[in-house]
Amino acid sequence: MGGGSSRLFGTLAQTLNSAPLAQPDPYSEENPDADPVEVDPDQLLRECEEALQRRPARPHRDMVYPSGPVPHPHLHNPSIRVMQWNILAQALGEGKDGFIRCPLDALNWHERKYLILEEILTYRPDILCLQEVDHYYDTFQPIMAGLGYHGSFLAKPWSPCLDVERNNGPDGCALFYRRSRFSLRATAHLRLSAVTMPTNQVAIVQTLTCRATGRPLCVGVTHLKARSGWERLRGAQGADLLRSLRSITARGAVPLVVCGDFNAEPSEDVYQRFSSSPLRLNSAYKLLSRDGQTEPAYTTWKIRPSGESRGTLDYIWYSADALSVHSLLDIPTEDQIGPDRLPSYHYPSDHLSLLCDVGFRED
């Protein structure tokens, strides 16, 4: 299964062929989009479906409305759709992560990129926050620019992807926003520190203006240090990021959304730091629970040589005083994920995408 499409389809081929051959400096402050080839999202979604016709369908996921019925769309204050996703760096998936129940063929980039794009095109977020991006310049930047997004990328200083033979450069965080919905005020590329020592983890923070309301919105994306034994480092990285966010948002005067793979369960110090911050942040996915206080049982589920690993590591934090969550994309069940867990032929990453619709509070 899955060995199918090695050819690029029309819309995607045209867009990717327009990308520059030379990769820009991944550590530069900004790489503005230039003359993107316009892409029809419906046509590209059809091409993704055609490329993936030999694979099983992605898990079906419903939108959940925690506050009751579907809110009536407000012309002057429409919802903002935010997607958070660790998409799994190609070099790590094939060369380092050891997903022993995932056939190597399921990870081939020729088809896996269509699974990733299909997920994005199905939900069409206004803001897209990604981690473990190692195909930014040759895939995501030109495609997302053609779909009407502005993109920003920041690589890890010492990406583990570079240790893999035939890698595609360093992985990092990427932040995209829809140009028709937002204009850019400012961008901050941050290298996170632990006390005073710089670390290998980064964050992008952008201050935007919502064109519909004229109101500012600050958006951040990050990916904290992985694995057990590094809890104190993650706590220090989170504290450093929160300090920067307080400064950038003028101590919370600008509403804030922070997305990321925190590599931390809710019991960890870094989670507690975010939930008790003076910025008054709440975690959107707690709203899926009956009490509104409990995170999902998992946002990642994988099997490695060390055993099965299931946990909640990914979050969308938002300013609870200034923003409200209208709806969220539910979490697939164990049966939908399947006995071999993630990634798989029907899902491209070991992390699930998170998605919510938020709106500015009228008061």
Report percent pLDDT > 90 for the chain.
84
Residue 28 pLDDT greater than 70, yes or no: no
pLDDT tens-digit series, residues 284-314: 999 999 999 999 999 999 999 999 999 999 9
**Distance between start and end Cα atoms, the chain:** 54
Q: Write the pLDDT tens digit of every residue in 195-240.
A: 889 999 999 999 999 999 999 999 999 999 999 999 999 999 999 9
Q: What whole-number distance in Å separates Cα of residue 329 and Cα of residue 349?
A: 17
Say yes or no to pLDDT of 7 above 80: no
Overall average pLDDT of the 257-279 stretch: 98
What pLDDT shows up at residue 33? 47
Count, residues in the chain:
363
**Count of helices and strands (H, E) across the chain:** 8, 15
Domains and CATH numbers, the chain: 10-19+36-360 (3.60.10.10)
pLDDT at 26: 46
pLDDT value at residue 19:
53
The residues with which 217 forms a beta bridge, in sequence order, are 208
What is the arithmetic mean of pLDDT over 31-35?
55
What CA dihedral angle connects 12, 61, 71 and 144, to 10 degrees? -20
